[in-house]
Amino acid sequence: MRPFHYVKANDLPGALQAFAPQNDPTNAAPSVNAATQYLAGGTTLIDLMKLDVMRPATVTDINALDQSKAGQIEFGDNGLRLGALVRMSQAADHEAVKSNFPVIAQSLQLAASAQIRNMASLGGNVLQRTRCTYFRDTSYDNCNKRNPGSGCAAMDGMNRNLAVLGTSNDCIASYPGDFAQALIALDAMVEIAGSAGTRMMPFAQLHRAPGSTPQIETTLTQGELITAFQIPNLPWGKRSLYLKIRDRASYEFALASAAIALDLDNGTVRDVRIALGGVSAQPWRAAEAEALLKGKPIDDTMLLAAADKAFEGARPKKHNAFKVQLGKATLMRALRDAATMTI
Neighbours of 18 (CB within 10 A): 21
Q: Which is nearer to ligand SF4, 85 or 171 (CB)?
A: 171
Q: How many residues of this chain interact with ligand SF4, rule: CB under 6 A? A: 15
303 near ligand FAD, rule: CB under 6 A: no
Q: Which residue in 172, 179, 13 sits closest to 92, CA to CA?
A: 179
Distance CA 86, CA 70 (A): 7
Q: Which does 153 bind (CB under 5 to 8 A by kind): ligand SF4, ligand FAD, none?
A: ligand SF4
Helix axes 322-339, 300-310, angle to 10 degrees: 140
Binding mask 185-224 for ligand SF4 (x = CB under 6 A): -----------------------------x----------
Q: Is the dihedral of CA 27, 33, 35, 40 positive or negative?
A: positive
Q: Which is nearer to ligand SF4, 143 or 331 (CB)?
A: 143
Q: Which is nearer to ligand FAD, 47 or 137 (CB)?
A: 47
Task: Return the range that interacts with ligand SF4 (CB under 6 A); candidates 26-34, 97-105, 109-117, 148-156.
Answer: 148-156
Q: Which does 143 bind (CB under 5 to 8 A by kind): ligand SF4, ligand FAD, none?
A: ligand SF4
E strands, 222-289, in order:
225-231, 240-245, 256-265, 268-277, 284-285
190 near ligand FAD, rule: CB under 6 A: no
- Listed in sequence order, the residues at least 6 apart from 116 whose beta carbon sits closer than 8 Å to its beta carbon are 41, 43, 88
3-class DSSP assignment, residue 30:
coil
132 near ligand SF4, rule: CB under 6 A: yes
37 near ligand FAD, rule: CB under 6 A: yes
Torsion of CA 140, 145, 146, 151, to 10 degrees: 40
48 near ligand SF4, rule: CB under 6 A: no
Q: Using the CB atoms, write b or e for 132-154: b if 16+ within 10 Å.
A: bbbbbeeebeebbbbbbeeebbb
> Whole-number minimum distance, CB 146 to ligand SF4, in Å?
6
Binding mask 96-115 for ligand FAD (x = CB under 6 A): ---------------xx---
Rounded to 5 degrees, what are φ and ψ at 59? -120, 120
154 near ligand SF4, rule: CB under 6 A: yes
Binding mask 224-253 for ligand FAD (x = CB under 6 A): -xx--------------------------x
Q: Which is nearer to ligand SF4, 135 or 284 (CB)?
A: 135
Tell me how far apart the 2 most distant CA atoms of the chain are, in Å.
Answer: 61
283 near ligand FAD, rule: CB under 6 A: no
Distance CA 30, CA 60 (A): 14
Q: Which residues are at the interface with ligand SF4 (CB under 6 A)?
A: 130, 132, 134-135, 143-145, 152-154, 162, 171-173, 214
